[in-house]
């Protein structure tokens, strides 16, 4: 996915660079070429996000927003209808995602139920306007909650004994979380992101049959990196 994103962005930048260069030397006139050309700075990155990102909701929202703005520039729809259409669409899109999140992620739901069935409540760690490092070395890891609110968290699972189907529930609100996992652990992500996101930055991924760690939660104006 990283290569896909890089290639797509490269193509977009080359294309826009050529068009802007031709406009500067008066070979073409971008404005006369088509009204609303600037909306493609919204549309094309949104398409890249839909293709390359795990979290596609904001890519879809951006594509819709850019398309509506372009149609308004083309006088196909009235300008006054633009905001009226965009806001309810985004709200509905987020609502649908929240409603059907567990339905489309049955494995995550089952993992949560399994963790809760142990009878041991998940330990909770937080960093609020500060930093916090949590090290699970030598521990049997089944579940935990980590919250970063205007702060930074590091969750170190590299030397933990991770139970298959373990669940890490994260909440990054205007904050960041680094999650360090062993190289032989498979990670499945099921998070809701609003102007934020989570990315798996590991260079190599484990083979099939590896222990699975589920990461759930929310990234709101914040993010998490798996390393």
pLDDT at 77: 74
pLDDT at 113: 61
Q: 221 CB contacts (<8 Å, ≥6 apart)?
A: 173, 174, 194, 195, 196
Q: What is the DSSP letter of 202?
A: -
pLDDT at 178: 93
pLDDT at 135: 93
Contact 135, 157 (CB under 8 A): no
Whole-angstrom distance between the N-terminal and C-terminal Cα of the chain? 16
Half-sphere exposure of 74 (CA within 13 A, CB side): 11
> Which residues of the chain have a pLDDT value below 70?
1-6, 8-9, 30-34, 52-58, 79-83, 94, 96-121, 206-209
How far is the C-alpha of 189 from the C-alpha of 210, rounded, in Å?
15
How far is the C-alpha of 70 from the C-alpha of 73, rounded, in Å?
5
pTM passes above 0.85: no
pLDDT at 148: 92
Contact 197, 172 (CB under 8 A): no
Q: CA 69, 70, 71, 75 torsion: positive or negative?
A: positive
Neighbouring CB atoms inside 10 A of 221's CB total 13
CA distances from 19 to 43, 48, 92, 204 (A): 16, 19, 36, 38
pLDDT at 133: 92
Q: Where are the domains of the chain?
A: 2-100, 106-226
pLDDT at 119: 58
């Amino acid at each position: 996915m990283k290569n896909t994103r890089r290639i797509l962005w490269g193509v977009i930048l080359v294309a826009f660079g050529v068009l802007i260069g031709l406009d500067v030397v008066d070979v073409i006139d971008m404005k006369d070429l088509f009204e609303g050309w600037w909306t493609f700075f919204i549309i094309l990155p949104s398409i890249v996000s839909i293709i390359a990102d795990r979290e596609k909701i904001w890519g879809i929202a951006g594509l819709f927003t850019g398309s509506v703005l372009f149609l308004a520039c083309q006088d196909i729809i009235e300008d006054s209808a633009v905001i009226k259409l965009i806001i309810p669409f985004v709200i509905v899109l987020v609502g649908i995602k929240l409603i059907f999140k567990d339905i489309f992620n049955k494995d995550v739901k089952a993992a949560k139920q399994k963790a809760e069935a142990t009878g041991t409540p998940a330990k909770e760690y937080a960093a609020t306007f500060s930093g916090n490092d949590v090290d699970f070395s030598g521990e049997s890891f089944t579940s935990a909650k980590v919250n970063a609110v205007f702060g930074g968290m590091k969750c170190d699972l590299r030397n933990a004994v991770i139970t298959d189907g373990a669940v890490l529930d994260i909440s990054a609100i205007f904050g960041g979380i680094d999650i360090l996992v062993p190289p032989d652990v498979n990670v499945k992500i099921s998070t809701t992101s609003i102007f934020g996101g989570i990315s798996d930055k590991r260079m190599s991924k484990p083979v099939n049959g590896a222990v699975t760690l589920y990461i759930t939660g929310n990234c709101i104006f914040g993010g998490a990196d798996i390393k």
